[in-house]
Chain A
Amino acid sequence: MHQPSSYTDLFFVFMLAGFLGFQLIKRVSPLLHSPLMSLTNAIAAVVVVGAILITGEAGATPLAKTLGFIAITAATVNVVSGFMITDRMLKMFKKKGS
């Protein structure tokens, strides 16, 4: 079992990630705001890891299994379609002459 983190550790991580996100997103060309949104949406579907844990752990109740199953399905739809649609959109962005 890994050492539980203290709350302040978690807030540190959150704050730094927030600042980093701010700097990164600011640089994204407005051209790509639609694909950006579908990419971040696909990435945020990483909540699937939480759904996997509650569905697959020992002693999961029927309720946990049912809701966990729905959550994995919903998140998987986002992962699969999110990455694929982002790539489909990006493929269309061409420079003049290419």
Chain B
Amino acid sequence: MGHDTFAYAETLTQVAYLAASGLFVMALMWMSHPSTARRGVRAGELGMLLAVVGTLINYEVVSYDLIIVAFLLGTAIGVPLAYFMPMTAIPQRTAVSHAFGALAVGLIGVVEYYKYAATAAAWSFTFWALMFEMLLGFLTCTASLVAFGKLQELLPSRPLMFRGQQIVNLLVFGGAIAIALTLIASPSSTWLFPIFIALALLFGVLLVAPIGGADMPTVIALLNAYAGLAASAMGFALDNKLLIVTGALDGTSGFILAVIMCKAMNRSFSNVLFGGFGQVAAAAAGGVDDRPVRSASPEEAALRLEMASSVVIVPGYGMAVAQAQHKVSELYKTLTAKGVDVKFAIHPVAGRMPGHMNVLLAEADVPYDRLVELEEINPELPQTDVALIIGANDTINPAARDDPKSAIAGMPIIEADKAKSVMVIKRSLNAGFAGIDNPIYYNENTQMLFGDAKAFTGDINKELSEKH
């Protein structure tokens, strides 16, 4: 091949990258609404195909055997993963995929480092980008694996804390930064490099270990942002604008979601940036509520739901744990058929990742126009006959609104307590994640439906169908 052929192939590669960047942007644009979202997936797939083919035809790629084997292996793992993954496991899968993506980014950084270690100039731009890429890549990888372990309940989902944790974190992170700077100043000090990687990996573990299960939506979104930034940094190191654009899109997406999650839990922005979340203060000294609790049977609950003209169902993580979404959907259908207006109130942090409840209910065949956001449902609740709470706790706790001393004070809640009557399906009176008592259970307009979410909803369905 002559020089012209090289130039021609290079131009083709760049054109393919340009088209891929455009398609990725359009993919996100089409994600704005369910009616166009699947077109977005097609655009993303086409963009990915162009990017990969554009790279394969590049003159720099001379050997294909390993690449093809890796493609086949990756596909052989990826297809069954996508096919057989139950929708309740979506948060875990997301954590794993962040780990895989970040691992790829980190490993590419390692290869680039060794390639240029002997020849790079001190303080070169490429090395700044490389070190940033690897720091983010490796810490995101282990952090995501710990998040996966917690979501899959291989690790305890409560916060893992020890004395002096903050100081250890600071030392590990500071050490990683110091070594990174040394390596940028003196790229040939290869003996320091493995220590840098080890510290980055260790920091990832330390970052997520102290975080509890209910904070996972924020963590997952934040790790999404880190993975995107790492990909962007790789684009800077490799002089590849496609990677910069894609990483920036992925990074902003994760970042915006993290901010939304934070607002929904009334956590501050700096809390997000420094990973200082998950440390919910001990419950305020309000004492245990000793008002009496009213409970009801499935029969009574069915009667009340049937008599209502409007019902708002508030699902939470408990619905996902009990796998109750299909029974809940059945209840929705039965009541709707009886002329009851049924809506679902979705709190942004309900579940273990952003949008978790929406996916579960959509899977169970609930139409998406029945899923209503917090700001829109709250004004409707005072006119609602029954608020039925299934597996939600902290997201409906009126203490967040009324008690400034509460550990979740200021967190926006779904104001279920304002409905004319409230029914709560719950195993027992145990406090929620934040360890705080929930006054809603003791209100006069509340009836507790004690039992497993799936079984109890099933019993209500049975009562409703037996009447006809």
Contact = CB atoms under 8 A, between A and B. Distances in A.
Interface of A: 1-2, 4-5, 7, 10, 13-14, 17-18, 20-22, 24-58, 60-61, 63-65, 67-98
B184 to A, nearest CB: 14
B31 interface: yes
A93 B371 CA distance: 11
Given A49-B55, A72-B70, A81-B82, A31 B368 contact: yes
Contacts of B48: 42-43, 45-46, 79, 83
A27 B240 CA distance: 28
B70 A69 contact: yes
Most chain A CB inside 10 Å of its own CB: which residue of B29, B81, B253: B253
Nearest to A48: B52
A39 B44 contact: yes
Interface stretch (B91-99, B154-162, B279-287): B91-99
Nearest to A34: B355
B244 A32 contact: no
A96 to B, nearest CB: 4
Given A13-B245, A53-B55, A44 B252 contact: no
B355 A81 contact: no
Contact of A47 (B60, B90, B231): B231
Given A17-B248, A29-B32, A36-B253, A1 B6 contact: yes
Contacts of B250: 21, 40-41, 43-44
Most buried by A among B44, B62, B103, B353: B44
Interface stretch (B107-115, B306-314, B441-449, B457-465): B107-115
B245 A94 contact: no
B367 A76 contact: no
A90 B55 contact: no
A92 B66 contact: no
A7 B67 CA distance: 30
A73 B67 CA distance: 9
Contacts of A32: 31, 33-34, 37, 355, 358
For this complex, into which size category does the number of interface residues on chain B fall?
Answer: 35 or more
Interface stretch (B207-215, B219-227, B268-276, B394-402): B219-227
A47 B28 CA distance: 18
Contacts of A65: 66
A44 to B, nearest CB: 4
Nearest to A57: B60
A45 B74 CA distance: 12
Mostly, the A contact residues are: helix
B236 interface: yes
B100 interface: yes
Contacts of B114: 61, 63-64
Given A34-B356, A37-B224, A43-B246, A77 B78 contact: yes
Contact of B355 (A30, A54, A57): A30
Interface stretch (B19-27, B186-194, B408-416): B19-27
Interface in B237-253: 238-253
B78 A57 contact: no
B27 A46 contact: no
A37 B359 contact: no
Closest 5 A/B residue pairs (Cβ):
A76-B74, A33-B355, A80-B78, A21-B252, A84-B82
Contacts of A68: 66, 107-108, 111
A31 B366 CA distance: 12
Given A34-B90, A45-B101, A7 B31 contact: no
B355 A36 contact: yes
B78 A90 contact: no
Given A49-B55, A68-B107, 9 more contacts: A21-B250, A24-B32, A25-B28, A28-B28, A32-B355, A36-B354, A55-B70, A58-B62, A70-B107
A78 to B, nearest CB: 5
Contacts of A29: 32-34
Contact of A55 (B37, B67, B100): B67
A15 B69 CA distance: 37
A25 B119 CA distance: 41
Contact of A43 (B24, B356, B363): B24
Given A14-B232, A29-B34, A30-B355, A80 B75 contact: yes
Contact of B41 (A22, A71, A90): A90
B168 interface: no
Contacts of A76: 70-71, 73-75, 78
A61 to B, nearest CB: 7
